[in-house]
Amino acid sequence: MPAIMYCCDECFANAPEECGHVDRSKLRVTPDGNWLCLVCYEADIQEPVPHWSDLPQPPEYGPATT
C-alpha cells in the first residue's frame, strides 16, 4: 500500500523533490494555517512564536477507498 505523504508548505514551494514526510509528526500547523517542518519553522520564526511542541500536527488522512 502506498504511503500518504504530508508536505511542508515552504519545502513544497522551494524544494518539492524533498518535501514529503510519511510521519505527520514531522510537521506542525502554524496559527496562520501553514504546514511547516522543523527546519522551515525555525527559519521563519517571528516573535512572539509558540513552541514547536505546542503547535498541532496536520490532520491524519487515510487512503482513499473505492
Q: What is the pLDDT of residue 65?
A: 66
Which range of residues forms the domain containing residue 44? 6-54
Answer yes or no: is 1 within a domain.
no
The per-residue pLDDT for 25 is: 93
Helix, strand, or coil (residue 2):
coil
CA dihedral 46, 52, 54, 60 (to 10 degrees): 120
User: Per the confidence metrics, is the pTM higher than 0.85?
Assistant: no
Residue 13 lies in a domain: yes
Residues of the chain with pLDDT under 70: 1-2, 46-47, 62-66
Model pLDDT, residue 35: 93
If one counts the domains in the chain, the total is 1
Q: What pLDDT is attached to residue 18?
A: 80
